Structure 1
Amino acid sequence: MTLTHPAYEQLRQVTPSAAVVLADNPSGMTLQGTNTWLLRAPGATEYVVVDPGPEDRKHTEALVHETGGNIALTLITHKHHDHTGGIDHLVEATGTPVRAKDSEFLRGRGAHLTDGEVIEVAGLRITVLATAGHTEDSHSFLLDGPDGEQALLTGDTVLGSGTTVLESWDGALAAYLDSLDRLMAVAPGRTLLPAHGPDHADAEPVIRYYLAHRQERLNQVRAALEKLGPKAEAPHIVAEVYADVDKRLWPAAQSSVEAQLDYIRSRG
């Protein structure tokens, strides 16, 4: 029987070179859970892991079992604990080097990720793309495999369903819109492999939706400012714009609204 999303702690092959093990950590923020991607070209003996997932022994054991512990490299899309909590368990079990933007997550011979660099490993060509917005350290990866296989691993920059939350650092939304433009430029013909939610055979329409959604939210925030006054604070705008959203998600929405306010007010 062919597995479909969600399939917890089981290897689900998505493309010839990309399989996923879904961590059993569902929540309002992680959707069905965190996707850990296992990459290798057909016939290759070693794997690349993208995001070891949460600090959960069962999840780590599933990764070790499915890879046989033969992990040439682990890549981190961004700093959040549901992606990085399992790093040390995986390193302890396999000795994998770990690469990330943030020094906190480097292990072994792992070096900082560099925007635009190309990593040749496990029979694959992986191109690093800096895609800040969700977090300052967010990265995506272009996967080019044998026989013209193409995929795009987007971390939390683009999810398999719904939309992502932005941290409220200065310039977050401007950076995120630039990141979406970068991803749109490389999306045609690529399979979308997100860190949460289901994969998609075609990344382009999903990213196009994300761009349209951000413009829609900006317009809603502008409308709220006209109604509530130009000095309205984020919590009041959240209550106006996200009135139909579960209030338990409002704190996360507030972070995105703060990023949108910074974007609007920095442009006068």
Structure 2
Amino acid sequence: MMSVTPIPAFGDNYIWLLRQDSTPDVCVVDPGDAAPVIDMLEREGLTLSTVLITHHHHDHTGGLPELIERYSPRVIGPNNPSIAGIDETVGDGDEVRVMGRLFEVHAVPGHTLDHIAYFTAGIPPLLFCGDTLFSAGCGRLFEGTPDQMHASLARLATLPDDTLVFAAHEYTLANLTFARAADPENPDVEKAMEECRRARELDRPTLPSTLGRERRINPFLRCDADSVRRTASVHGDTDTSEATFATLRAWKDNF
């Protein structure tokens, strides 16, 4: 049985730790900071065997040098020479076995050009999507184009409804505030806002979400919805789903 535990870092990052009940070996996803990972491993007597990297930003890779020096884990990530320490590069369509589960690699450019996501089918399916898909939002476009990000999100949206979405940041309440403005007629947004407020008041993560839930509340996955298009049309072009996405993303950047 695989379990996934959040390791908070930098105030709003999550480093996800994957483990199986039958072994002390674990995997972490996007360790931007080594210290909280080491603290968790030492406290619980765990061994870091694998690291998954989604993209090159420092808040996702900064802990790699210290973790490699201390534990010598297998490090899997995108083919980007700027990420020091990767010993197994993967790209779109590749498969890797981690903690006994087979993970599919999806190229999801937009936030960065090297961004990849890891998906494993099972009960339940799991998606580790870095800064591409957030709960009720998506990442900023630092390197890619709106069309690239729109296509990446559309690709992830084809995964099963019960897929658990492990995004890398606790941005949900801020994203829902924007979702309320972009999709004001959507009662699912209001329901999610109340649920997430209660979770944060108890210092609990709002993640993981599910893809089914995201398709109901995330305006960036609802660019074909009439209600979203009507609201977005005040801020720019909404002639196509891609144009609506670009308008939403530019609006959110200055929201």
Aligned partner of 1:128 in structure 2 is 105
The answer (yes or no) to whether the contact 1:193–1:199 under 8 Å persists in 2 is yes
Q: CA RMSD in A?
A: 3.1
CA positional deviation for 1:42: 2.7
Distance 1:119 1:96 in 2: 15
Q: How does 1:1-268 map to 2 (within 5 A)?
A: 16-23=2-9, 25-26=10-11, 33-54=12-33, 58-65=35-42, 68=45, 70-101=47-78, 102-107=80-85, 110-145=87-122, 148-169=123-144, 172-197=145-170, 198-207=206-215, 209=218, 210-212=220-222, 216=229, 219-222=233-236, 242=251, 253=253
Q: CA separation of 1:162/1:46 partners in 2, compared to 1, >3 Å: closer, same or farther?
A: same
Aligned AA for 1:151? Answer: L
> Which has more radius of gyration?
1
Q: CA separation of 1:62/1:161 partners in 2, compared to 1, >3 Å: closer, same or farther?
A: farther
Q: CA separation of 1:163/1:175 partners in 2, compared to 1, >3 Å: closer, same or farther?
A: closer
Give the 3-state SS of the residue equivalent to 1:73 in structure 2: strand
Q: Which runs of 5+ in 1 are unaligned?
A: 1-14, 27-32, 225-236, 246-252, 258-268
Give the 3-state SS of the residue equivalent to 2:35 in structure 1: helix
**What TM-score do you get using the length of structure 2 for normalisation?**
0.68
Distance 1:126 1:223 in 2: 37
Distance 2:74 2:4 in 1: 20
Q: Which runs of 5+ in 2 are unaligned?
A: 171-205, 239-246
Give the 3-state SS of the residue equivalent to 1:48 in structure 2: strand
CA positional deviation for 1:204: 2.5
Aligned AA for 1:199? Answer: L
Instruction: Using the aligned pairs only, state the percent identity.
Output: 25
**What TM-score do you get using the length of structure 1 for normalisation?**
0.65
Number of paired residues?
A: 204
